[in-house]
Chains A and B, each alone.
Chain A
Amino acid sequence: MTRLSITKAYKMYVGGAFVRSESGRYFQVSANDKSATGADPETVNIPLGSRKDARDAVLAAKNAFDGWSARTAFNRGQILYRLAEMLESRRDELTASLQRAGLSAKDAEAEVGASVDRAIFYAGFCDKLTALLSSYNPVPGPHFDFSVPDPMGVIAVVAPAKPALLGLVSTILPIIAAGNTVVAIASKDDPRTAVLFCECLATSDLPGGVINVLTGDAKEIAPHLAKHREVAGIDAWTEDAELRAKLEAEGSDSVKRVTTHGTPVDLKWYDAADPQVGQGLGFLERFLETKTIWHPVGV
């Protein structure tokens, strides 16, 4: 007699815990590649995140900010490296999940590999970015004047629909590498892989609340994040021009740093031959303030 498998309940990741939507709503995602369903049934139920879920996630991210931004840059790098280890050890699972969402085995494998490499890239960046973005400013008078990058706080991310895993990894890791915390809305096309990614986060020593991932409809949730006063910035990757404009407009009420990006289908997120594709200092500095300090000099 064959054994009946246990199916997994897919949940959002908020404050270090896996939660359902407070709204009780869900949407269904089916497997495109039925041979790769694994333990999953053909169709799974995914929480359809609500405004309240977004607010809870912002609160978790806000509460995590002081602790995370006060950690040493080296420690943040260690945790990101640990995340890369967790991703590497679950490569097969992540690859199968991307296949379930319709990728070929080859493409899925390449995307998972690139995602692990991206985590490594930012793991090694945590304690370098300050040197690259700081300055000593030669002002007149008895002052030691210098400028340093400083994290902004809670940043909301609308992750690109595709690539579901690499897009999420590429957008949120640079934001937390610099000491911010994140509320991300995962790709609605493939939320399963995002949840799997969160399971890697949960086992990588990352403090709860540093990364919060909601599933559902960005069009519904993101405008609430744009209006939320505790959210310092938004990074939105979406083809929906109307949503981009809406986030920019709603963000103005609290002078939010809003960056939006169309995501043309040919947008490249990884190129082994070109280290400037899909990553870099530009991703890091987008959500950093510059703090200038004039310190007295004298005897």
Chain B
Amino acid sequence: MDSANPFHASTGTAVPANATNGTSHGASVASGTSPGKPALDFGAAWEYAPAPEARDHVKIDPRYELFIGGKWQAPASGSYFPTINPSDESQLSEVAEANEADVDKAVKAARHAYEKTWSKMPGAERAKYIFRIARAMQEKARELAIVETLDGGKPIKESRDVDVPLASAHFFYHAGWADKLHYAFQGRKARPLGVAGQIIPWNFPLLMAAWKIAPALACGNTVVLKPAETTPLTALLLAKICQEAELPDGVVNIVTGAGKTGAALAGHGDVDKVAFTGSTGVGKRIQRAIAGSKKRLTLELGGKAANIVFADAPLDQAVEGVINGIYFNQGHVCCAGSRLLIEESVHDVFVAKLKDRLRTMRLGDPLDKNTDIGAINSRMQLDRIKELVASGEEEGLDRFSAPCELPSKGFWFPPTFFTGVAQTSRIAREEIFGPVLSILTFRTPDEAVEKANNTMYGLSAGVWTDKGAKIFWMAQKLRAGVIWGNTFNKLDPSSPFGGYKESGFGREGGRQGLASYVELDG
């Protein structure tokens, strides 16, 4: 039969198990995994030669100061903290820790630049500066990608093909808006807000910096940006690019630090707008902290997206989409498809295919161009992932982890999924922010919608089916800001991104995203 053919991504492991077992799908899958060999067994032919991206031409300074008012300034705090490579725990550099006095200095520089130059400059001139930044990022793309991978642990193929090109594209896209804002809001006047305090996470350090800075500058605001404490380096390289682009002093300021620095920035009395991307917990604290202050706020927070696969979907394509949805960037993605809702009739077949696919994933050196799964960003995040996975095991859920060898140094977690997950399980409700998928089933489209929407989050969702009308039907009913049909985790500067419910408010990208950085009349 088919079992002789090693290339056949067989359903054979699951189907006979189901037939003999005859119980619920959870039980059948559990028994289906144990016997026999994986359907795809290439043996030694699977071994790839290492293909590391060379890093010798990339120079990381031993120490970085704060970037305030166009100059590199030593912190008033006098203290520095290390930033490490999460794949081997080696120190890459140390960066300044900004305290309240430093943040105040940066906000003053931003205010000065806003009043003296940036808000008075014609949009067409602002545009040219932003275009310059976009171009310089393209020129330095290789360097930026390598540093992003070193500092954050993500595979080089992702930083090279996704993070850096998209970040540059965001500057390029928004540059063009700077002198066309009167078309964006027809019949209404758009004014800049002033100084924006922006706090970004560690999962897409450079891309998030671009998402925040580009629209703010295009709309005539100046910014003080705080990168995440575990991934400050590419934002500091971006500061160098701003310098080289001769961006007027103080238009972009970068203050590095941890939560306290962020709190000082959000709480500063002369900040007009706070933009935060990060966890829902911290987002809520910021929203509460600035209550009564008249500051404008946009929040891009967590998610627990449903990736919904119907029986009529192209299943092999859907497998790739589900894999990309949850294991892209080790699952450190706010819009990750962390809940798979699979139509019950194809559950066993689909789970078998997922297992086969998972066995082929390559975990290891993030700088290796063949690596699929890089390092977990930090020890703290690894502990959180482990804690939630343990809760799934304690609840008695069926776990499957790819059989990869984990390097002895650094922070690693194998791509993992759980079957037989209930809606009440912690791993179905809480954002894990790691390479862990929870698999649930449904029987009807209505049930799929009900389960997909049964979460406090509402950032994204995926729908896989061969029927276009069904995608639209689902898209109308799903309460999420971004809905992907037969694809997942696609982003583009022209396409507004942002959440419903506790996934935050405000959009980034597109014409709609500009509204986060202007004051409109009428």
Contacts and interface: CB of A to CB of B under 8 A. Distances in A.
Q: Do A and B bind each other?
A: yes
Interface string A275-299: 0100011100100011111111000
B481 A253 contact: no
A241 B492 contact: no
B239 interface: no
A291 B475 contact: yes
A249 B486 CA distance: 40
Interface in B275-309: 280, 283-285, 287-288, 290-292, 299, 301
Interface string B482-493: 111111001010
Contacts of A292: 481-483, 495-497, 510
A276 B283 CA distance: 34
Interface stretch (A83-91, A138-146, A194-202): A138-146
B498 interface: yes
B291 to A, nearest CB: 4
Chain B contact-residue range equals: 35 or more
B505 A255 contact: yes
B166 to A, nearest CB: 11
A107 B346 CA distance: 68
Contact of A257 (B301, B483, B505): B505
A257 B496 CA distance: 18
Contacts of B483: 291-294
A252 B475 contact: no
A248 B522 contact: no
A137 interface: yes
B522 A280 contact: yes
B504 A255 contact: yes
Interface in A12-65: none
A147 B492 CA distance: 13
Contacts of B496: 135, 137, 147, 290, 292
Contacts of A254: 456, 501-502
Interface string A136-176: 01111101010100001000000000000000000000000
A104 to B, nearest CB: 29
B292 A139 contact: no
A281 B483 CA distance: 25
B468 interface: yes
Given A280-B522, A281-B188, A244 B292 contact: yes
Contacts of A139: 490, 492, 494-495
A276 B189 CA distance: 11
B512 interface: yes
Contact of B188 (A133, A282, A295): A282
B511 A135 contact: yes
Contacts of B485: 293-296
A255 B301 contact: yes
A257 B492 CA distance: 25
A248 B291 contact: yes
A72 B290 CA distance: 39
A291 B480 contact: yes
Contacts of A245: 291-292
Nearest to A229: B456
Interface SS majority for chain B: mixed
Contacts of A135: 496, 510-512
A289 B481 contact: yes
Nearest to B465: A296
Nearest to A145: B495
B289 to A, nearest CB: 8
A281 B186 CA distance: 11
Nearest to B497: A292
A293 B476 CA distance: 9
Contact of B521 (A133, A145, A276): A276
A77 interface: no
A290 B292 contact: no
Nearest to A254: B502
B471 interface: yes
A251 interface: yes
A232 interface: yes
Contacts of A285: 515
B471 A241 contact: no
B51 interface: no
A140 B492 CA distance: 8
Given A147-B510, A290-B498, A137 B475 contact: no
Nearest to B169: A140
Contacts of B292: 241, 244-245, 248-249
Interface in A96-148: 133, 135, 137-141, 143, 145, 147
B484 A294 contact: yes
A281 B501 contact: no
Nearest to A141: B490
B507 interface: yes
A293 B482 CA distance: 6
Nearest to B471: A295
A252 B288 contact: yes
A257 B298 CA distance: 10
Interface string B73-108: 000000000000000000000000000000000000
Contact of A290 (B471, B486, B512, B521): B512
B64 interface: no
B387 to A, nearest CB: 24
A221 to B, nearest CB: 18
Contacts of A232: 501
Contacts of A289: 481, 500
A254 B507 CA distance: 18
A5 B185 CA distance: 55
* Chain A CB within 10 A, most for which of B299, B481, B495, B501: B495
B472 interface: yes
A254 B283 CA distance: 10
A15 B150 CA distance: 58
A68 B401 CA distance: 46
B291 A249 contact: yes
A255 B501 contact: yes
A276 B188 CA distance: 9
Contacts of B283: 255
Interface in A193-243: 232, 241
A137 B471 contact: no
A220 to B, nearest CB: 19
Nearest to B283: A255
Contacts of A143: 487, 490
Contacts of B188: 276, 280-282
Nearest to A241: B292
Interface string B318-347: 000000000000000000000000000000
B520 interface: yes
A112 B77 CA distance: 61
A147 B490 contact: no
A281 B522 contact: yes
Nearest to B486: A296
Given A248-B292, A292-B483, 18 more contacts: A137-B496, A143-B490, A152-B500, A248-B290, A248-B291, A249-B291, A252-B284, A255-B284, A255-B502, A257-B505, A276-B522, A282-B188, A282-B522, A289-B481, A289-B500, A290-B481, A293-B485, A295-B472
11 contacts: A135-B510, A137-B496, A139-B494, A140-B492, A147-B510, A152-B500, A252-B284, A254-B501, A254-B502, A290-B507, A295-B472
